[in-house]
Amino acid sequence: MTVGVVVVVVLNLGVLLLSQSDTQPQGRTLPSTIDSVSPGPGELARLQDTITADLRDDLTGVLVLDGQEVPEDQLDRVVPLAEVSFRPGSDKDLARFEPGLHNVAVYYWPQGKERPTRPGVYSWSFRAGA
């Protein structure tokens, strides 16, 4: 009987700790306007991985990579899900990421509205490697 009680207590404690754990990379939380980004902050990506920002569903935005805005015709969008992404390729300004650190920013604003002069912004960095 005592062993059973101890097992139940340990299992409940494990469930409680897992539900309270921080699963964001490096303990960094995203603003409420951003559902997710990929690659995540500090993550290692391949040289031709896709960069994605999944915004709150009523927003739209653009990506800025290493200080250069990705041209609109090179972005991929899933408008109903408010996802904006970029994948390097031979038909793009950037064929592949250079190995090393890269900085990304997503500038965002409400869908159906003009881009404001000071849109919301979230930025992060990732590393690219072979």
Each residue's pLDDT tens digit, 24-60: 444 468 999 999 999 999 999 999 999 999 999 999 9
Query: Over pLDDT 90: what percentage of the chain?
Result: 77
Which SS3 state, helix, strand or coil, does residue 1 take? coil
Sheet with 76-78, strands from edge to edge, namely 34-38, 51-55, 83-86, 76-78
CATH number of 29-128: 2.60.40.1220
The full set of domain ranges for the chain reads 29-128
Partners of 85 in beta bridges: 52, 76
Q: Give me the residues of the chain with pLDDT under 70, please.
A: 1-28
Question: For the sheet containing 120-128, what is the strand order?
Answer: 44-45, 120-128, 100-110, 59-65, 68-69
